[in-house]
Amino acid sequence: MDNARLEELFESLGPISIRKLFGGKGIYCDGVIVAVVVRGELMLKADEESIADFEAAGCSQWTYTGSRHGKQVAMPYWSVPDDAFDDPDEMAVWARRAYEAGRRAGR
């Protein structure tokens, strides 16, 4: 996913910055991380207050197998609902949820 597309998707939040992170990209707004791009997939920040919304929309959580212990590790990032990629108003709702989760996390 190129930077121009990411800027378009998060336009409702205002200016974003994009930095290398986890071998992918971190997307920030006002210094708050709101999303990551991992293995070409955009994943939005979530927390205990917003996880139910992501689950209800059929999103999947980013997990990976830890190299030291071989156990599944769940990250606080979830896939974007398919409809949001084609509907700027819908994406604005999800981007705002991700921003609010990032603010609550203090990062």
Residue 107 has pLDDT above 80, yes or no: no
Residue-level pLDDT at 106 = 80
Which residues span the domain enclosing 42? 3-106
Residue 4 has pLDDT above 60, yes or no: yes
Question: In this structure, which amino acid lies at residue 58?
Answer: G
Residue 22 has pLDDT above 80, yes or no: no
Q: How many CB atoms lie within 10 A of CB 53?
A: 15
Nearest to 97 by CA among 72, 78, 83: 78
Q: Token match 């996390």: residue?
A: 105
Domain of residue 86, CATH code: 3.30.1460.30
Alpha carbon separation from 76 to 11, 40, 79 (Å, rounded): 22, 17, 10
In 1-107, DSSP assigns E strands to: 17-21, 24-29, 32-38, 41-45, 61-65, 72-79
Number of domains in the chain: 1
What pTM did the predictor assign? 0.92
Residue 55 has pLDDT above 70, yes or no: yes
